[in-house]
Amino acid sequence: MFPRPIQEASASRQLLYKIGLPISLVIWLLPMIAIIATAGRSLSDINYGNYWGIPSEWAFVDNFSAVFNSSPILWYLVNSVIITVPAIIGTLFLSTLAGAGLALYKFKGHFVIFAIFIAGNFVPYQILMIPVRHLTVNLGIYDTYWAVILFQMAFQTGFCTFFMRNFIAELPFELVESARSEGVSEWKILIHIIVPLVRPALAALAVLEFTFVWNDFFWPLILIQSDEIRPITLGLTTLKGQYISSFNLLAAGSLIAALPPVMMFFAMQRHFIAGLTLGASKG
Amino acid sequence: MTDIAFPAARPRNSFFRRNRLVIMPLLFIAPAFGMFSLFVIYPIAQSIALSFIEWQGIGPKKWIGFQNYIMLFNDPVFWKSLVNNIYWLVLFLLAPVIGLFVALYLNQKVFGIRLIKSLFFFPFVVSQVVVGLVFTWFYDPAFGLIATILKPLGLQLPSILASEDWATFGVITAGLWPQTAYCMILYLTGLNSVNPEMVEAARLDGAKGWNLLVKIVLPQLRAATFIAIVVTVIGALRSFDLVAIMTEGGPYNSSNVLAFYMYDNAIFRYRVGYAAAIATILFLIMDIYIVWFLMRLLKNEKGTR
């Protein structure tokens, strides 16, 4: 193990480490702690300039209900869900198919197609921006949920295909070979053998994609105009204008926006990290 | 009997059966590749084509050859944005370095360490919009946290985001926070698979601390380092959200970056061809890393099925 286990260190160093951990954690999370504390700060504290001191009273309930009552944040949240869920399902469907196609068969141009999916995933968004905007206008879906859903589905398929292909390539290939020699159709092999085996990969991707699509700011900014269908990331910038002097409300809004991906992360941590680090073991 | 009853079915079916190992992968890949081509690959080609055109977004398009690029190379804001992108690139590479040290710091087995590790990872899960808002507010010269801490010490904080000298660095610092968390998790996972026997053997040979890290541990973390650098570089070049939230490129374009300048030109200045030229330059820069990644992948692919 590297570095040397702290248990082997002197008692004083062990103590130092154990005290140091929470302190460093607090410093590291200071921005989050600040936002949480501010979301619970009362308006009178803000008016008296008590921005960072100990709050004179806690006003979480007041602030959160104020945000929900005075802004369409609930709708922003609903919009985020409406965009994120179908985008993830579509992405997983497309990339499972494509990943299996790339992993289970040998054919000419195999690496080229694989490389295109990966390379596309690293492309700067800006080079896609103008044509994708026009494409959605031409398809008649500009300024609808579909514009963002379809784009995210297409774009995220790049990374997910890379992931699925690597995952499927690691599965025991004999399963597929013996099914083939029994005369099972390729389609049935996919549905009855591959899909049950890739469920952990699908879970990992679903969690990871949830945070990617939920947190995305750029594409809704480009593809959505109407306030009614804005997701929460875009909605927050609207709130920023609305709550220009009520930081406590803006902080509460930010917390609400951050909550779903954070909850997802803590509930599905293992999957999340598996999704992130697959590339690390493969690179 | 069935052969006679369905004369056309058999040859078609058998053609399909004979070639199913060629046809099936194409059928499997087609939907994904179709979508990807429509929304990603074709738009790249279109953007590059647009960069040779003068266009306001509506109305007539005019082919002007390299005119947009010539204008770009004479545009001080373009150069300022490019320089800022280089600042982003260089300073963002602190993320893998700090991430490594944080990972080494946390790579212990003590009570509650799992929870601490995940809390350290927290910033990456939060939207950049939120990160941008929090840091903007930390930096506020009147009532920001930093100003509040400095005040009793008799120090006055310059208005970071309103200062031409400091705005870019203020935004980069905000970006480093989640990026470091990302690199940290890559290294924590990498450290799990470091061969303990090699480390022990090196210890017996008297290797310690820094030497052990550089000569024994780091080489085993190469995969993690590679991916950390790739995602960090791409993240640095993609920097848009934080700039849009925190400064909108200001003051006086001092914190602009190519991604934001491009957006600004396309949406607010109606210089679509010009914006496409900026995007193309950004794309060319990023291609270096994309090619690097693919070459390495190709090398690793050889020898697998």
Q: Give B217-246 pLDDT, tens digit per residue.
A: 999 999 899 989 999 999 999 899 999 999
Instruction: Please determine, for residue A164, whether its predicted confidence score (pLDDT) is greater than 70.
Output: yes
Q: Which residues of A touch B44 (CB under 8 A)?
A: 123, 127-128
Residue B221: per-residue pLDDT: 92
**Residue B31 pLDDT class (50, 70, 90 cuts):** very high
Same domain, yes or no: B141 and B288 = yes
What 3-state class would DSSP assign to A41? Answer: strand
pLDDT at B135: 93
Whole-number pLDDT of residue A5: 86
Confidence check: pLDDT of B183 > 60:
yes
Query: Per the structure, how many domains does chain B have?
Result: 2
| Long-range pairs, A122-125, Cβ under 8 A, ≥24 | A122/B230, A122/B234, A122/B286, A122/B289, A122/B290, A122/B293, A123/B40, A123/B44, A123/B283, A123/B286, A123/B290, A124/B237, A124/B238, A124/B259, A124/B279, A124/B282, A124/B283, A124/B286, A125/A218, A125/A219, A125/B238, A125/B240, A125/B259
Cβ atoms of B236 and A124 closer than 8 Å: no
ipTM for the whole complex: 0.90
Indicate if B39 and B91 belong to the same structural domain.
no
Q: What is the DSSP string of A80-102?
A: HHHHHHHHHHHHHHHHHHHHHHH
Contact B125 A173 (CB under 8 A): no
Answer whether residue B268 is part of any domain: yes
> Where does residue A188 rank: exposed (0-12), middle (13-18), buried (19+ CB within 10 A)?
exposed
Confidence of residue B5 (pLDDT cuts 50, 70, 90): very low
Does the CB of A252 have a partner CB in chain B at under 8 Å?
no
Q: Give the confidence band of B157 by pLDDT, cuts at 50, 70, 90.
A: confident
Same-domain status, B200 and B249: yes
Range of the domain at B238: 77-304
User: Does the distance separating the beta carbons of A115 and B46 come in below 8 Å?
Assistant: no
Mean pLDDT for B104-116 is 91
Is the per-residue pLDDT at B4 higher than 70? Answer: no
Burial of B148 (0-12, 13-18, 19+ CB in 10 A): middle
Let me know if residue B91 belongs to a domain. yes
Structure tokens at B166: 């400091």
What residues does each domain of chain A span? 6-67, 72-281
Does the N-terminal peptide bond of residue B251 adopt cis geometry, omega within 30 degrees of 0? yes
> In this structure, is residue B57 part of a structural domain?
no
Short-list A163, A158, A170, A197, CA closest to A275:
A163
At A214-245, the pLDDT tens digits run 999 999 999 999 999 999 999 999 888 888 77
If you measure CA to CA, which chain B residue comes closest to A266? B118
Out of 1.10.3720.10, 3.30.2350.10, 3.40.50.300, 1.25.40.10, which CATH number does the structure's domain A72-281 have?
A: 1.10.3720.10
H helices, E strands: number in chain A: 16, 0
Is B98 a member of any domain?
A: yes
Q: Is the model's pLDDT at A1 over the cut of 80?
A: no
CA–CA–CA angle B244, A213, A133 (5° rounding): 65
Q: What is the pLDDT of residue B23?
A: 86
Domain for residue B66, yes or no? no
What distances in angstroms separate CA B94 from CA A59, A215, B102, B134, B215, one per listed residue? 39, 24, 12, 21, 21
Q: Domain for residue B208, yes or no? A: yes
From A71, A225, A77, A151, select the one nearest B127 (Cα to Cα). Answer: A77
Above pLDDT 70, what percent of chain A? 98
pLDDT of residue B1 exceeding 50: no
Dihedrals phi, psi of A200, to nearest 5 degrees: -60, -40
pLDDT digits (tens, 9 = 90+) for B52-96: 999 888 888 888 989 999 999 999 999 999 999 999 999 999 999
Residue in the block written with tokens 């999340």: A272
Share of chain B above pLDDT 70, in %: 94
- For B113, name the nearest residue in chain A, comparing CA atoms only: A21
Give the Å distances, CA to CA, from B216 to A2, A15, B9, B211: 10, 28, 64, 8
Looking at residue B270, its amino acid is: Y
- The enclosing domain of B81 has a CATH number of 1.10.3720.10
B221 close to B191: Cβ distance less than 8 angstroms: yes
Whether B7 has a pLDDT exceeding 60, the answer reads no
Interchain proximity A217–B305, CB inside 8 Å: no
Q: Is B258 left (phi over 0), alpha (psi -120 to 50) or beta?
A: alpha
Cα of A156 to nearest chain B Cα, Å: 9
**Min distance A115 CA to chain B CA atoms (Å):** 7
Q: Is residue A60's pLDDT more than 50?
A: yes
Specify if B2 maps to a domain.
no
Chain A residues within 8 A of B31 when measuring between CB atoms? 94, 97-98
pTM of this structure: 0.91
- In tens, the pLDDT along A88-117 reads 999 999 999 999 999 998 888 888 999 999
List, for residues B195-212, the tens digit of each pLDDT value: 888 888 888 888 888 888
Kindly state whether residues B233 and B287 are assigned to the same domain. Answer: yes
> What is the C-alpha separation between B150 and B69, in angstroms, rounded?
46
Tokens 């190379």 -> residue:
B73
Give A 153-172 residues with CB within 8 A of chain B.
153-155, 157-158, 161, 169
In chain B, what residues touch A159 (CB-CB under 8 Å)?
Answer: none
Tokens of B285: 């820069």
pLDDT at A248: 87
Is B260 domain-assigned? yes
Note whether A127 contacts B: Cβ–Cβ < 8 A. Answer: yes
**What amino acid occupies position B255?**
S
Q: Average pLDDT for residues B264-284, to the nearest whole number?
A: 94
